[in-house]
Amino acid sequence: MADLRPIVSVAIVQQGDVFSHIASHWYTPVVPSNHAFLLTSCERLNPMYRRQLRVMRQESFEMTAKQAQLDLGIDTGGETPSSEVRVDLPSLTVISEPKGVVYTKSWVVDLILDLAGYRASEDLAALYAVEPSAGDGAFLIPMIRRLLDSVEKHGKTLDETRSSLHAYELNQESAARAINLAVTELVSRGVDAKTAKKIARGWVTVGDYLLESRTDRKADLVVGNPPYIRYDDLPEGAFDTYRRIYPTMVGRCDIYVGFIEAGVRQLVEGGALAFICADRWMRAAYGAELRRALSLLFSMEVVIEMHDAPAFENNVSAYPAVIVIRRATQGTVLVASANAQAEPLPASDNLADSLVALAHGRIDQVSGFTVTSVTKWFTGTGPWPSVEPNQLEVLRRLEEKFAPIEDAMTGTKVGIGVATGNDSVYVTTDADIVESDRLLPLAMAADTKTGTVVWSGHYLIDPWQRGARHVDLASYPRLGAYFQEHRDELLQRNIAKRSKDDWYRTIDRVNHELTKRDKLYFPDMKLVSNPTLDRGQTYPHHNLYFLVSDVWDLEVLGGLLLSKVAQLFIEAYCVKMRGGTLRFQAQYLRRIRVPDPTLMSEDIAAELRESFRNRDVVKATNAAIEAYGIQDLAGTFSC
């Protein structure tokens, strides 16, 4: 078999992740159809990589050619991971039952099992299905019912099901309840109590899936609702332990990221992971490594956004989505959105089959759902869009045809205002507090409500001179006295601890040329796009993002960015806040695609300019639709 290292390395190096670049060199063919990580010698790695490698070694994250613990798609020939692997585990405290427990409604469980193909019509006794967090059996009991129905349909015996299911549960009391429910289900099917208890105790075990699944056998299905636990709610030492085993658990991720990685690792070829869990990882920075691993080695099969759907027994704000991921080559993806009217269909209809039929145009509607199918999924570490299914086609067409808004050819740049580390010291409305040339008019988010800046009289007390050097306080006695008065406060900041010689600096340097430039401001959090024009009068505060351009007429660009078309990009990629508030941060603004301003007709430019001045979103959207040439998709946008 060909060496996979060049293929994996190119995809990874382009993303610039040191850890993954090291790991990519460990993918080495051992025998045909058997790849594993092989630790290369330090001499082959440059000094930066060697430093990272030493850290990993110190954490007992040691690999040999027999150790396939980081198997994210490499066939190990069915071997179980070697017992040589050493991970220094802290003493993990069992997580208390209420923390992270969210129970899924039965109709959602049935939908997930059907989408994953775990149906009684299949020979389920011949499969190995895993529930990684059984709870009180919300998934386990329907799985048992389907398994028993399958046994009857296929003429199998109950004894043949002993190794067909494995449900992990960290909490001993919950595991006991799940076992009792399993026993009750078996007894109701005519199994004697003694046999039922023996089988149920074989199906349900007390254990930590993230630790113990590494020595479990490969599974045809991993299905369930993983716990909703923030990294800082875990017992001390647990998160570091998990992260050493699951490298996609980066940043401030929730524990379900580890469950997704563990689950897909365990899959046989063609096997499926089917979860309902929060969808933040699809767009947040902490999900970047997971997105990359999945796009390289697995197939997204189903994504159903269920933020507004009644998916859980309790009313929780979990931003859930149903996902089905298969160990297979990427194919067509069913993308759907469920609203508050989503509900089970009559007994004669199957919801999963109906959604598939709707996606392929065989039926006209399914109450509470919008559905589409897409033939191409997203790759790399970039965020995955979250929009209504019918908007995906618009998004894809715009991304394929138009360039990003930040563009060296037009001199268009996106940035953020100044962070001080202590606004109570650096931001003032007192025009006489220091020397006048040390006061910079500062635009605040509240100044941008009307479409043009209405300055509120705030100033930045500016410690910078032109040329990105901090000022000499001896040259500014009033400024020096003011900073000395607040010295203790300023020294508490991390930036001051790192830069003792310029302890009075702000976190960000001030670019004085920016003040004089025309620019568009975007408040960080708004329900709708609100580009605001500043005619070179102010400098932006840290809660404002700005856009400047050498080519664009900013009123024309402002009209474009006021439109629902441009807002679609923000809605698709930002992490939405509760209540639907959007984040207009730089990384999301940079996702916006725009037409070439030099090729735009004057009539369309005039429409956009006028709509911006009048804050007319409907007119701006209609003009933007023409500018992008998507008149055939105009019905996607409602104003």
DSSP state of 526: E
Please report whether residue 191 resides in a domain.
yes
Question: Is the confidence at residue 229, as pLDDT, over 70?
Answer: yes
The confidence score (pLDDT) of residue 421 equals: 94
Q: Report which secondary-structure segment, H or E, holds 240.
A: helix 238-245
Does the pLDDT value for residue 156 go beyond 90? yes
Q: Which residues on neighbouring strands pair with residue 526, listed in sequence order?
A: 582
Task: Answer yes or no: do 76 and 160 share one domain.
Answer: no
Model confidence at 101, in pLDDT bands (50, 70, 90)?
low
For residues 57, 61, 64 and 69, what is the CA-based torsion angle, rounded to 10 degrees?
Answer: -160
* Distance between first and last Cα of the chain: 55
Q: Using the 3D structure, point to which of 88, 122, 149 is the last residue of a domain.
A: 88
**Per-residue pLDDT reduced to its tens digit, 578-629:** 677 888 999 999 999 999 999 999 999 999 999 999 999 999 999 999 999 9
Same-domain check for residues 289 and 144: yes
Q: What is each CA distance from 452 to 45, 101, 441, 481, 533, in whole angstroms?
A: 54, 47, 15, 36, 5
Q: What residue numbers bound the domain in which 6 lies?
A: 1-88
Residues 128 and 198 in one domain: yes
- Is there a single domain that holds both residue 278 and residue 352? yes
Q: Indicate if 74 and 111 belong to the same structural domain.
A: no
Which amino acid type is present at position 375?
T
Beta strand ranges found along 70-189 (DSSP E):
129-131, 165-169
Distance CA 424, CA 237 (A): 37
Tens digits of residue pLDDT in 506-550: 999 999 999 999 999 999 989 899 999 999 999 999 999 999 999
Same domain, 138 and 78: no
Q: Give the pLDDT of residue 316.
A: 59
pLDDT band at 314 (very low <50, low <70, confident <90, very high): low
Report the pLDDT value the prediction gives residue 54, as an integer from 0 to 100: 37
The least confident of 207-211, 463-467, 492-496, 577-581 is 577-581
CA distance 444 to 433: 19
The predicted pLDDT at position 74 comes to 35
* For residues 285-300, average pLDDT: 93
**Percent of the residues in the chain that have a pLDDT greater than 90, as a whole number:** 65
- Residue 575 vs residue 358, higher pLDDT: 358
**At 305, phi and psi to the nearest 5?**
-75, 130
- Do residue 83 and residue 111 come from a single domain? no
Average pLDDT over residues 5-13: 35
Task: Give the pairing type, strands 403-404 and 439-443.
Answer: unpaired
Q: How much is the CA Rg of the chain, to the nearest whole Å?
A: 28
Q: Do 123 and 208 share a domain, yes or no?
A: yes
Inter-residue contact 282 to 300 (CB < 8 Å): no
The amino acid that residue 272 corresponds to is A
Which one of 353, 378, 403 terminates a domain? 378
Global confidence as pTM: 0.69
Is residue 419 assigned to a domain? no
pLDDT at 39: 29
Could you give the CA distance from residue 35 to residue 286 in angstroms, rounded to a whole number? 27
- With cut-offs at 50, 70 and 90, classify the pLDDT of residue 317: low
Using one digit for the tens of pLDDT, what is the confidence trace for 427-484? 999 999 999 999 999 999 999 988 889 999 999 999 999 876 889 999 999 999 999 9
Q: How many other CB atoms sit within 10 Å of the CB of residue 49? A: 17
Question: In the numeric block, which tokens belong to residue 552?
Answer: 């664009």
d(CA 287, CA 249): 8
Residue 45 has pLDDT above 80, yes or no: no
CATH of the domain at 348: 3.40.50.150
State whether 301 and 169 are in the same domain.
Answer: yes
Segment 441-453, tens digit of pLDDT: 999 999 998 888 9
Last residue of a domain, one of 378, 403, 427: 378
Q: Identify whether residues 266 and 294 lie together within a single domain.
A: yes
- pLDDT tens by residue, 239-274: 889 999 999 999 888 899 999 999 999 999 999 999
Q: 95 is written with which tokens?
A: 């997580």
Query: Left if phi > 0, otherwise alpha if psi is -120 to 50, otherwise beta: which for 613?
Result: alpha
Task: Report the distance separating Cα 605 and Cα 600, nearest Å.
Answer: 7
Q: Which residues pair with 366 in a beta bridge?
A: 369
Specify which residues 415 forms β-bridges with: 546
Is residue 35 in some structural domain?
A: yes
What pLDDT score does 420 carry?
A: 96
Q: Is pLDDT above 60 for 98?
A: no
Which residues, 6+ apart, have CB-to-CB distance to 174 below 8 Å? Answer: 97, 134, 135, 136
Do residue 53 and residue 129 come from a single domain?
Answer: no
Residues 6+ apart with CB under 8 A from 496: 421, 490, 503, 504, 505
65 located within any domain: yes
Number of domains in the chain: 3
Arithmetic mean of pLDDT over the chain = 83
Tokens 């074989």 -> residue: 202
Please tell me the predicted confidence (pLDDT) of residue 595: 96
The whole-number pLDDT of residue 537 equals 96
Task: For 56-85, write each residue's pLDDT tens digit.
Answer: 333 333 332 223 333 343 333 333 333 333
Query: pLDDT by residue (tens digit) across 550-574?
Result: 999 999 999 999 999 999 999 888 8
| Any domain includes 98 | no
Helices (H), 492-582: 494-498, 512-516, 554-562, 564-573
pLDDT at 49 over 80: no
Within a domain: 594: yes
Residues 58 and 26 in one domain: yes
Under 8 Å CB-to-CB from 46, ≥6 apart: which residues?
none
Asked whether 269 and 328 are in contact (CB, 8 A), the reply is: yes
- Amino acid sitting at position 599: L
State yes or no: pLDDT of 383 exceeds 80: yes
Is 408 within the bounds of a domain?
A: yes
CA distance 531 to 245: 44
494 occurs within a structural domain: no
